[in-house]
Chain A
Amino acid sequence: MATTLPATACDQVRDDIWRPMRGASPAYVAAVAATALLVAWGLFCWGYQIGHGIGVAGIRRPTMWAFYIVNFVFWIGISHAGTLISAILRLTDAGWRKPVTRVAEAITVFALMIGALFPLIHLGRVWLFYWLIPYPNQRLLWPNFRSPLVWDLTAIFTYLTGSIIYLYLPLIPDLAQLAAHTDGWRRSLYRALSLGWTGSDRQWHALERAMKLMAGIILAVAVSVHTVVSWDFAMALAPMWHSTIFGPYFVTGAIFSGIAALLVVMAVIRKMMRLEAYLEPRHFDNLAKLLLLMCLLWLYFTIAENLTVWYGNAAAEMSVFAARTRGRYAVLFWTMVALNFAVPFVLLGIRRLRTIASATISGLSVLVGMWLERYLIVVPTLSMPHLPAAWGSYSPTWVEVSITVATFAAMALLYLIFSKLFPIIAIWEYRHVSDG
């Protein structure tokens, strides 16, 4: 049974959530300027790479995939925040999800947009990207549909389309409310985007049906997308890549990093927009428990993956395994274990320590740890192929580091702009309080 807040409380909710959309504080302007500057620097670096060729990146034979692919996998993983949190909680009708869902859904769309850029950046000759689109080229040859690159294209396109619709649908009632209470260009924008929403019961029925359906569909697509990303690696007969558990291992890691990103973004929004009354400690506590669960699942998969390699004792795999656990990548590997397991397990596992601050620290720790995990999956294997004579090393250049930093700034910038244009909490969902 659901109830609706009384009218005065409704007005209060609306005012509180719309307040951050009005005006721009000096801190906001400074944040936009700083992130825009970093994004511009990143775009310059990409332009520099296009002008001078992919050689300006540290990619060398045999390590032909590196920072850009690491970032691609990382950002696609982050994109799982919205779908998994929002869709699962929507399908199970969990009442506490309501202030959290839009924050999460926006992360999904922005992270996907950023993640999808990296294959383009990695291509080098980005203007030839259209070769992936299924149409016959000059020699009447079709693209290779067996290629995981074509799988990526279809999977990410489907996921991005679904995620944008999934973010947009519950925005419509709020946009109609905004159109009725604003003027100027904002009114025109909200009126156009609200598509003539009147709030009739037919529209509410259609919206709720569509959201339930979309939640189910997007859940399947989210799992498939990260499985397809894992198959980019697992389909290759490379040491420590050709693994049957890579699909679930990647999906687990994606949900893990997605929840971590959500916790960090929620903490920032709560502080910056003064939404303490809406993003309550219980929301952080519930998400922290989910993060703890995913932390244990991640550990289980990591042990399962590494233990079978160690027990199998195949020469090529053991070389990579040794380099990761006690060789040149050991520092990164054990740092990853500490950040992904030790920190969240201690901070979130002990009830007394589980606060908003510790959940945010755990989220940040997991984000760094999961980026390292992606690096350790991609780089050591390619640096140490089957033939020892072909082994090489990789170190990133300033171009790769700059572009990587710029994407984090791009995420922040997109979020800053979004939060100024649209309510970051679904007002109508928040008003529609569930007793359960």
Chain B
Amino acid sequence: MYLTAEFPDAETAAAAITALRGRGLHPAAMDLFSTTPIELAPGVLDRPSRMSLAAVAGAVALCLLTVGFVYFTQHHYPLVTGGMPLFSFWATGVVFFEMTMLGAIATTFLMFLWESGLLRRRAIGPVPTVEPGSIWLRVDCQTPQVAEAGECLYHAGATKVERLK
């Protein structure tokens, strides 16, 4: 069961989230919808992210792959070089750098798709129609909690509360 509530501003939406959390609802069960980003105080509705870490990991991974590839090509020419690599490893620094950055770019984009839930096939639940300037809070709660949560939303300053399945 979903409850959706419209709020006139970010402050009342934040107050509703804090009140719902105080009644045991987990932040993962709440989603705030708006046409512009809403800045809430830290701790109200934090969304932990591993995007930076993943970008670094992607950069390192593609860098290592490139280093391995260049090393491989240095030693796999069908020319007799007396066991020596055919060209200087260090002169390929530009290629390493660009591939490292490409790894970071690709991983950042993939992590954006993953963390934002875009392209994910699982059901995302009902989405309220958000007009410019309005803020909607959607709460995923058990049937026994609905009445209490609805009251809490009104109390915090919601102008409209709807039940959705």
Chain A residues with CB under 8 Å of chain B are 1-2, 4-7, 10-11, 14, 134, 136, 139-142, 144-146, 150-151, 154-155, 157-158, 161-162, 165, 169, 172-173, 177, 195-210, 213-214, 217-218, 220-221, 224, 228, 231, 428, 431-432
Contacts of B105 in A (CB 8 A): 158, 161-162, 165, 214, 217-218, 221
Cβ-closest chain A residue relative to B109: A165
User: Which residue of B31, B118, B133 contacts A10 across the interface (Cβ within 8 Å)?
Assistant: B133
Q: How many whole Å from A188's CB to the nearest CB in chain B?
A: 17
Contacts of B102 in A (CB 8 A): 154, 157-158, 161-162
How many residues of B sit at the interface, in one of the four size bands? 35 or more
Question: Known: A158-B105, A161-B105, A205-B49. Contact between A210 and B111, CB under 8 A?
Answer: yes
A sample of 19 inter-chain contacts (CB < 8 A) reads: A1-B39, A5-B133, A141-B77, A145-B73, A146-B92, A151-B95, A154-B99, A157-B102, A162-B102, A199-B34, A199-B35, A204-B37, A207-B116, A210-B111, A213-B52, A217-B55, A218-B105, A221-B105, A428-B35
CB <8 Å contact, A432 and B37 = yes
Interface residue? B164 (CB, 8 A): no
Contacts of A200 in B (CB 8 A): 31-33, 117, 127
Cβ-closest chain B residue relative to A140: B78
Contacts of B104 in A (CB 8 A): 213, 217
Q: How many whole Å from B143's CB to the nearest CB in chain A?
A: 23
CB <8 Å contact, B108 and A213 = yes
Q: How many whole Å from B123's CB to the nearest CB in chain A?
A: 12
CB <8 Å contact, B111 and A140 = no
Q: How many whole Å from B88's CB to the nearest CB in chain A?
A: 7
User: Which residue of B47, B76, B95 contacts A150 across the interface (Cβ within 8 Å)?
Assistant: B95
Q: How many whole Å from B115's CB to the nearest CB in chain A?
A: 4
User: Which residue of B95, B108, B133 contacts A145 across the interface (Cβ within 8 Å)?
Assistant: B95
Contacts of A208 in B (CB 8 A): 37
CB <8 Å contact, A198 and B94 = no
Contacts of A158 in B (CB 8 A): 98-99, 101-102, 105
Interface residue? B70 (CB, 8 A): yes
Which one of A7, A172, A208 has the greatest number of beta carbons of chain B within 10 Å?
A7
User: What 1/0 flags go to B126-139 for Cβ under 8 Å of A?
Assistant: 01001111100000
Contacts of A4 in B (CB 8 A): 10, 34, 36, 133
User: What 1/0 flags go to B11-44 for Cβ under 8 Å of A?
Assistant: 0000000000000000000011111111110000
CB <8 Å contact, A209 and B101 = no
Contacts of B39 in A (CB 8 A): 1-2
CB <8 Å contact, A142 and B124 = no
Contacts of B35 in A (CB 8 A): 10, 173, 177, 199, 428, 431
CB <8 Å contact, B38 and A204 = yes
User: Which residue of A207, A221, A432 contacts B98 across the interface (Cβ within 8 Å)?
Assistant: A221
CB <8 Å contact, A7 and B131 = yes
Cβ-closest chain B residue relative to A173: B35
Contacts of B47 in A (CB 8 A): 201-202, 205-206
Contacts of A224 in B (CB 8 A): 94, 97-98, 101
CB <8 Å contact, A154 and B98 = yes
* In the bound complex, CA of A290 to CA of B47 (Å): 37
Interface residue? B1 (CB, 8 A): no
Tally of A-B Cβ pairs under 8 angstroms: 170
Contacts of A6 in B (CB 8 A): 133
User: Which residue of B87, B88, B116, B131 contacts A206 across the interface (Cβ within 8 Å)?
Assistant: B116
Cβ-closest chain B residue relative to A151: B94
Contacts of B111 in A (CB 8 A): 206, 210
Contacts of B91 in A (CB 8 A): 145-146
Cβ-closest chain A residue relative to B112: A210
Cβ-closest chain A residue relative to B56: A213
Cβ-closest chain B residue relative to A201: B32
Cβ-closest chain A residue relative to B17: A201
Q: How many whole Å from B57's CB to the nearest CB in chain A?
A: 13
CB <8 Å contact, A195 and B118 = yes
Q: How many whole Å from B19's CB to the nearest CB in chain A?
A: 17
Contacts of B80 in A (CB 8 A): none
Query: Across chains A and B, which 7 residue pairs bring their CB atoms closest together, nearest first?
Result: A7-B133, A10-B132, A206-B116, A210-B112, A201-B32, A142-B73, A204-B37
CB <8 Å contact, B33 and A199 = yes
User: Which residue of A11, A206, A218 contacts B112 across the interface (Cβ within 8 Å)?
Assistant: A206
CB <8 Å contact, A210 and B51 = yes
Cβ-closest chain B residue relative to A8: B133
Contacts of B101 in A (CB 8 A): 158, 162, 217, 220-221, 224
CB <8 Å contact, B45 and A201 = yes
Contacts of A197 in B (CB 8 A): 116, 118
Contacts of B132 in A (CB 8 A): 7, 10-11, 14, 431
Q: How many whole Å from B95's CB to the nearest CB in chain A?
A: 5
Interface residue? B113 (CB, 8 A): yes
CB <8 Å contact, A202 and B115 = yes
Q: How many whole Å from A343's CB to the nearest CB in chain B?
A: 35
* In the bound complex, CA of A172 to CA of B31 (Å): 19
* In the bound complex, CA of A228 to CA of B94 (Å): 8
Contacts of B55 in A (CB 8 A): 213, 217
User: Which residue of A196, A201, A213 contacts B38 across the interface (Cβ within 8 Å)?
Assistant: A201
Contacts of A169 in B (CB 8 A): 109, 112
CB <8 Å contact, B38 and A202 = no
Contacts of A432 in B (CB 8 A): 36-37
